[in-house]
A and B are shown apart, each in its own frame.
Chain A
Amino acid sequence: MRNRVSYTLDSTLDSVNKAESTAAQFAARAGFNADEQDNIAMAVREAAVNAVLHGNAHDPAKKVFLVCERTVDTLIITVTDQGKGLDPSCVPDPLSPENLMKGSGRGIFLIRAFMDEVRFRNTHPGTEITLIKHVGGKPANAKEETT
Chain B
Amino acid sequence: MTMKASTRQVNGVTVVDMSGRITLGEGSVILRDTIRDLLGKGQKKILLNLGDVTYIDSSGIGELVSAFTSVRNQGGELKLLNLTKKVHDLLQITKLYTVFDIKDDETAAVGSFK
Contact = CB atoms under 8 A, between A and B. Distances in A.
A49 B24 contact: yes
A38 B90 CA distance: 12
Contacts of A101: 65, 68-69, 99
A16 B24 contact: yes
Contacts of A46: 57-58
Nearest to B54: A38
Interface residues of A, number: 21
Contacts, number: 50
Nearest to A42: B57
Contact of A106 (B23, B25, B61, B99): B61
Given A94-B94, A101-B99, A49 B62 contact: no
Contacts of B55: 38, 42
State the main secondary structure of chain B at its contact with A.
helix
A95 B69 contact: no
Contacts of B59: 49, 104
B-side interface size class: 20 to 34
State the main secondary structure of chain A at its contact with B.
helix
A24 B63 CA distance: 24
**A13, A95, A106: residue with the most chain B Cβ atoms closer than 10 Å:** A106
Nearest to B96: A100
A63 to B, nearest CB: 19
Nearest to B72: A101
A13 B24 contact: yes
Interface of A: 13, 16, 38, 42, 45-46, 49, 53, 94-95, 100-107, 109-110, 113
